[in-house]
Amino acid sequence: MFTKHVSKELSAYCQGELGSDDSRRVAEHILGCRRCRKDLEEIKLGIQFAERITHAPAPASLWREIESLLDQQSIPQRRLSRRRSWVSWRNAGLAAAAVIVTVIVVVSWYAIHSQDAPWEVVRLAGNPTINSDRIGDEGSLGVGEWLNTDASSRAQVKVANIGEVEVEPNSRLRLVKTQINEHRVELARGSMQARIWAPPKLFFVNTPSAVAVDHGCAYTLDVDDAGATMLHVTMGWVALVLGGRESMVPTGGRCDTRPEIGPGTPYFDDASEALKKALAKLDFEAGAEEALSIVLAQSRPLDTLTLWHLLPRLTRPQRERVYDRMVLLIAPPAGVTREGVINLDETMLDIWREQLKPVWQRDDPAIWKKLLGSVGN
């Protein structure tokens, strides 16, 4: 499946220099390729390191050297000729230092000024407001400001240079932070659709019951008045996290959250209604043995997404039931044992998830056939 690695394109991808088709192709490859994901992490570390450098001020002594160099350049040439070799050597060194300082200053200026720059807002319908002022056809949303839509208003918000968000009626959205390595909004209530073409983990949405972490994708978020959130992913992957709980949701997947509890278990749009109902019970209500039986009985191979996420959230006897059902749907890869999974061995769970990802992403029918064909019954 991963015939061509994308390592060479990762730097351009991180800087937002790829076209949207290439950016999408790279993002999709990264999701399924451990090697390129590792390369991406290294490049992102490099970017963070470079950022730290830009914040270090140039030492005052270096400035004095440069000033004296500039003074010397105004001295008549004949006075310099006697010590030409020394001067030209020294000048070359100082000129190089000046270039370095100039680069640092320019990059610092860019880093400082690209931080917290307001986002463009376009009115799509009705009368959206920013901090209770109507915006007309266009407006700008600064850090800390609230964008509000009433029952007949909609607005589009440009997420710096990495994507866009459509804010639906009856919504409240605040810009929390916008910096080169983190763009964050808060959706207090209502609905938004996000389309993000940045590398993973640059765009975050705080909701009352979880944080949505973008992994290169398109999705919608709905927050009701009680603070419950519903995530629906239309392309790529999104993680919902709160405390130690994390739910990874692929294309076609959904995940619900509740205040005080956090993210529930991800499931697919086309899972059976009985499964969805029983899963909500299992996630958010107590005493759910019967609900678990329904989820297990209703699971298709695709629903191993749900079963895999359930493992660490259940009791040991319940995990045994989940494991026994999962291996009937798709045989586990070599090195993954019943004992290990039931003891929540992290490496084994990771290996199994990596094997299942192509199934959850519905990547390739051949992979389906191979995995399903490996099942004994």
Interface positions with Zn ion (CB under 5 A) = 5, 33, 35-36
Question: Letter for the amino acid at 29?
Answer: H
Cα distance between residue 257 and residue 243, in whole Å: 13
Q: For residue 162, what is the enclosing H or E element?
A: none
| CB 119 within 8 Å of CB 139 | no
- Taking the complex as a whole, the smallest distance from the CB of residue 35 to Zn ion amounts, in Å, to 5
When the beta carbons of 33 and 202 are compared against Zn ion, the nearer one is 33
When the beta carbons of 35 and 83 are compared against Zn ion, the nearer one is 35
- Taking the complex as a whole, the smallest distance from the CB of residue 233 to Zn ion amounts, in Å, to 22
Angle at the Cα of 201 from the Cα atoms of 198 and 206, rounded to 5 degrees? 110
Provide the angle, in degrees to the nearest 10, between the axes of the packed helices 84-114 and 34-54: 110
- Taking the complex as a whole, the smallest distance from the CB of residue 42 to Zn ion amounts, in Å, to 13
- Taking the complex as a whole, the smallest distance from the CB of residue 1 to Zn ion amounts, in Å, to 10
For 191-220, the DSSP string reads EEEEEE-SPSSSEEEEETTEEEEESS-EEE
When the beta carbons of 27 and 36 are compared against Zn ion, the nearer one is 36
| CB 255 within 8 Å of CB 264 | yes
The dihedral region occupied by 311, where left means phi > 0, alpha psi between -120 and 50, and beta the remainder, is: alpha
| Separation in Å, CA 236 to CA 39, 176, 239, 269 | 19, 24, 10, 15
Cα distance between residue 10 and residue 38, in whole Å: 11
When the beta carbons of 29 and 254 are compared against Zn ion, the nearer one is 29
Give φ, ψ of 75 to 5 degrees: -75, 135
What's CA 213's distance to the chain center, in Å? 4
What's CA 38's distance to the chain center, in Å? 15
- Taking the complex as a whole, the smallest distance from the CB of residue 100 to Zn ion amounts, in Å, to 35
When the beta carbons of 298 and 355 are compared against Zn ion, the nearer one is 355
When the beta carbons of 18 and 33 are compared against Zn ion, the nearer one is 33
When the beta carbons of 32 and 301 are compared against Zn ion, the nearer one is 32
What's CA 319's distance to the chain center, in Å? 30
| CB 355 within 8 Å of CB 310 | no
- Taking the complex as a whole, the smallest distance from the CB of residue 273 to Zn ion amounts, in Å, to 38
When the beta carbons of 30 and 180 are compared against Zn ion, the nearer one is 30
Strand 218-223 versus strand 229-235 pairing type: antiparallel
When the beta carbons of 2 and 109 are compared against Zn ion, the nearer one is 2
What is the number of residues in the chain?
Answer: 377
Strand 133-134 versus strand 262-263 pairing type: unpaired
- Taking the complex as a whole, the smallest distance from the CB of residue 218 to Zn ion amounts, in Å, to 22
- Taking the complex as a whole, the smallest distance from the CB of residue 330 to Zn ion amounts, in Å, to 23
Cα distance between residue 54 and residue 44, in whole Å: 16
When the beta carbons of 324 and 364 are compared against Zn ion, the nearer one is 364
- Taking the complex as a whole, the smallest distance from the CB of residue 354 to Zn ion amounts, in Å, to 13
- Taking the complex as a whole, the smallest distance from the CB of residue 2 to Zn ion amounts, in Å, to 5
Cβ within 8 Å of residue 244, ≥6 positions away: none
